[in-house]
Amino acid sequence: MAFAQRPRAMRPPPTAAPLYPPPAAAVPLRERLLLVALYVTVLASSAVFIEPSPHDALMGVLAVACVAAGVRFDARILPMFLFLLIWNVSGLMSLINVVGEEKTVQYSATSVYLAVAAVIWACLCLDNTMTRLAAIRSAYILTAVLVALAGIIGYFDAIPGTRSLFAPDERALGAFKDPNVFGPFLIWPALMILQRMLTRRISLSDLLAVGILMLGLLLAFSRGAWFHFALSCAVMIALSLLTARARSTRLRIVVLSALTVGAIVLFVAMLLTLPAIETMFQERAQLFQSYDVGQSGRFRLQELALSALLNAPNGLGPFGFASTHANQQHNQYLQAFLVYGWTGGVAYVLLLLTTFWVALRSVFVPTPWQAYLVTALAAFTGEVAEGFIIDTDHWRHFYLLVGLIWGLWAATGRNRQNGFAPQPAYPLGSY
């Protein structure tokens, strides 16, 4: 008996793998505008030779862009907000002691504005975190390299007439008013580049950029900035080792760190063969300068400041101490109590301590932005240490670091339950 053969089930033909990945979801216009405002604002952060600076005006534009893009506030940022609020309310109350004095209101207004800026930086990290961080990183490194180049050109007077603009008094300051602020501004971008070189890859562009930043930092001849960089580098290397996931990565960090230190020492030694740099370096490298000692020196003023703050629980107000002693005490922690009163000073110290706490709680969590937290915490540590020899309460990049640390802490908490799903990647690069 013949049986009819059953037809085979028709199988769909195998589909070939797509030649191109599927297109990414369209980026909303408001997010694109926010990224542009963010990039331009950070790019202008090195031009602070006048106050208010272009960066300050652009922060207002960035704030409007944040509102339009629906940037939100997270409850995890609330402690930072409250400490900044208490600190600044105390500072405004201290104005009673300096009524009618010149620039005191402007000083307090700048403090309030920088506190608001820190909150904005923190909120920006909550959504599209990696994309926004990439924009900040790219703009910050570019503006730091450009301002370092300006300081280098001015120091060597490579373009006639630039020395008086970018390096007066034989110290590079770029577009800043003080070389002691110019130097620390270059440290976080230098750390970001160095950290990538130690843990991922070394490129010619990174070598060129970090060389320019290192030369600018050296020519600032700021002892505090040199110490800040050394301490921040040590913290960055230690955190990179502790957060590395593979033994080969840790070995790479150790070997390249040793080579990098040797390269920096060789680089500085070569520069010291130039007589102009050697003379200034020998002068600035001394542990104590003439303005540190004596009855009108830094250390004596700090003793007087300590006595003054003990007798002024409500603070002396902006420039209150300088109006009596003809100079500032050059210590951020004395400044916090002298200007903002005991309540403000305590709030400032608690802000620093809690910033360290949230950074250490989040930096060891494997996140897409872990490398950013490593370098931000390292730079913040150096900045806090440098505060013992200089006033840092109006350093714009200080508030950027504080805001980023708190924002990334909040982003870590929000995304932990979701397993850190891949975030959209826009054509701005990544860390």
**Please, which pLDDT band fits residue 49 given cuts at 50, 70 and 90?**
confident
- Residue 318: pLDDT over 60: yes
Question: How far apart (Å, rounded) are the C-alpha atoms in residues 201 and 239?
Answer: 18
CA-based nearest residue to 407, from 364, 366, 376: 376
144-174, pLDDT tens digit by residue? 999 999 999 999 999 998 999 999 988 999 9
Greatest mean pLDDT among 22-31, 91-100, 183-192: 183-192
- Residue 16: pLDDT over 60: no
Token representation of residue 118: 């820190």
Question: How far apart (Å, rounded) are the C-alpha atoms in residues 231 and 383?
Answer: 9
In this structure, the number of other CB atoms found within 10 A of the CB of residue 231 comes to 19
What is the average per-residue pLDDT within 2-19? 45
Length of the chain: 431
| Residue 216, helix vs strand vs coil | helix
Token representation of residue 332: 């951020």
CA-based nearest residue to 415, from 25, 119, 127: 127
Greatest mean pLDDT among 48-57, 100-109, 239-248: 239-248
What is the average per-residue pLDDT within 278-290? 72
Please check whether residue 104 is in contact with residue 59, taking contact to mean a CB–CB distance below 8 angstroms.
no
Question: How far apart (Å, rounded) are the C-alpha atoms in residues 86 and 115?
Answer: 11
DSSP string of 127-189, one letter each residue: SSHHHHHHHHHHHHHHHHHHHHHHHHHHHHTSSTT-HHHH-GGG---TTSS-HHHHHHHTHHH
